[in-house]
Structure 1
């Protein structure tokens, strides 16, 4: 069961670039959760997958200190959903429920910024990654998700506040 969770139901076994597959699957499922269950459900799902991710990584990596196997993608799911919360909240606050279809740049930007920060690993993302423990496996992606979410908001502000004028 731990392998099913850490690979997020097998997405982490896809090649090449299992992290990208995990992120893409996370975006699709996150949009579906938001669309059919609502923004509060996405918040709860993000919290739950983060908690499960920490637990699953601790168990899966207990005898493998310093490893961050590429097939473990539950960390990408948690980070990607965190990034997705930013545009989802902005639209939920305005009462736009079908935002993923109408405002697709929001989730596309969340995906692209998350992958950028997850691969580039600037500042706190890299610091968490260098921890070399099971907590670092999750933390680097959560930092990447936070930075990606903030970048989406900044990009939307620039696009709608500066470019659209």
Structure 2
């Protein structure tokens, strides 16, 4: 029987490095000593993915449909600083990432050890130790790149969304 915490890696993602049987997303930073900082983003790759419309997981061009994985608190702003994903990359992430999948009840309480050339996410301090939120998959035909709180972001405020589906509702205590 397959472990539900470690989903099978789709063929389209087999070109990516792995750690602990999980793929390392293309936007995940790696320290000089070889640690992959899951839950963090490489700001340079994030920006390139947003501007070039590349998938944040596999690093390949987005073509038709794109999915933004967003926290409940991000939905009213209709934008995300994390790049959009291919539908199959979003599906894998929604099962593989413990935060998005709802297997963690809180964000990490201590910040990751960053290299001197790395920056923390702008909202990292606010999330540190905070309760996890429900996550949603926002399906898009396209998005516009904007600046949100000083960071590049994918916005669907002007382009609209195709559908919004809950990834996890566990933290709303309605199931």
TM-score with structure 2 setting the length: 0.30
- Judging by fraction of residues, say which structure has more helix: 1
- Judging by fraction of residues, say which structure has more strand: 2
TM-score with structure 1 setting the length: 0.31
Larger RCO: Structure 1 or Structure 2 (Cα < 8 Å, ≥ 6 residues apart)?
A: 1
